[in-house]
Structure 1
Amino acid sequence: MAEDDATENEDDEGAEKPPSGSKKKLILLIVMALVIAGISVGGTLAAIKIFSPPSANVEAEGEDAEPIPARPSPAIYYPLKPALVVNFDVKGRQRYLQAELTLMIRENDVISAIELHMPKIRNGLNMLIGGQLYEEIQTAEGKELLRQQCLQELQKIMQEEIGKPGVEQVLYTNFVMQ
């Protein structure tokens, strides 16, 4: 019996114990994290390659190839100060709209034209907004339609005065109705 105990002790010392359940889970989690990180990096690189613009160094093939369009100039945001205030008569009650507008333009010379023609611009916008129905501009669709109409009015004025639309977007920076 002593020999059997000695033989078992020798076998136990020579053989490695299998890792416990928690060590297996830790190794599995680490491997899974590395795989997920690899997939994420690979997906990001693939997305960048797919959605990146074509290289500017690509040579044109033949005479029918179209030139690559130039990037637009950076946007310039020009706030119209002071805010436009328009009053409405709604069922015998006075209602007010205060709108702060910011214009998005791309050319510096348009700024000086806007400043020069500011009285005409403010008059056009006041007349346009004042002619709206109060109930209609309370909705999101009405506000968006009014924004588009303001853009068209500004572009019309700029076209008359400087020969180009000049204004790319009209943005509300504050819109209060009472």
Structure 2
Amino acid sequence: MAKETKNAQQPTAADAADPQVVAKQKRKKLIIIIVAVLLLLGVSVGVTMTLLGASSDESAAETDAASEAEPTKQPAIYYPLSPAFVVNFEDRGRSRFLQAELTLLLRDAKVTQALDTHMPAIRNALVMLLSGQSFETLQTPEGKEALREQALVKIQEVLQQEIGKPGIEQVLFVNFVMQ
């Protein structure tokens, strides 16, 4: 009996040929390989993050230096175009109306004088633009955004012709009613 317990503890050549013993040994090797790969991945991620952190700190310092060299942005000036624009247009044989209040965003106070001087040309360009729109298009947010961008271009074109620079940054709709 004592010999049987002794043989059960020590693997023999016959046990090595046993499929269960071979499978256990392969699982152990597989687990060791997986742990080693995960450890290497963890180390490589840590090194990468450390290197990227250092380079992002350098780029942040470069950005700060570049922003110090640039002149500071002037405060925003909002210039309302009043009275509101009211235009009519045809949609499937029906008359439709659009009322839009616009405000311009600019940064140079000198441009306000040019806006006052050239307001008839600006209003004409905007009335022509607004009256040429389609009712279906203006019902979508994308259509309104496209109209806003087109109005910006029209006003900038007038100012470019008259004062030699675009003058305004944005056109904002503060009221937009369609009927």
Give TM class, smaller chain: 0.5 to 0.7
Alignment RMSD (CA, Å): 2.4
Structure 1 gap ranges (5+):
1-49, 59-64
1:143-173 CA distance string (max 9 Å, x none): 0000000000000000000000001000010
Matches within 5 A, 1:104-119: 104-119=105-120
TM superposition shift of 1:131: 1.0
Distance 1:66 1:155, change over 3 A: same
CA distance 1:82–1:71, shift in 2 (3 Å)? same
* Per-residue deviation, 1:72: 1.0
Q: Counterpart of 1:77 in structure 2: which amino acid?
A: Y
Question: Which residue of the partner structure matches residue 151 of structure 1?
Answer: 152
1:74 paired residue number: 75
Highest Rg: 1 or 2? 2
Matches of 2:79 and 2:68 in 1, distance apart?
Answer: 32
2:125 is matched by which residue type in structure 1?
G
- For the pair 1:141 / 2:172, whether they are aligned, the reply is no
Query: 1:92 maps to which residue?
Result: 93
Identity %: 55
Length-normalised TM-score, structure 2: 0.63
Equivalence map 1:13-52=2 (5 Å): none
The separation in 2 between residues aligned to 1:169 and 1:56, in whole angstroms, is 26
3-state SS of paired residue (1:82): strand
TM-score when scaled to structure 1?
A: 0.63
State the Cα deviation string for residues 14-71 of structure 1 (Å, max 9, x = none). xxxxxxxxxxxxxxxxxxxxxxxxxxxxxxxxxxxx8xx859996xxxxxx8972111
Which whole-Å CA distance do the structure 1 matches of 2:161 and 2:119 have between them? 14
CA distance in 2 between partners of 1:147 and 1:57 (Å):
33
CA separation of 1:118 and 1:66: change in aligned 2, threshold 3 A: closer
**Residues matched between the structures, number:** 121
CA deviations on 1:95-115 (whole Å, 9 max, x unpaired) are 100000000000011001001
Deviation at 1:134, TM superposition (A): 1.4
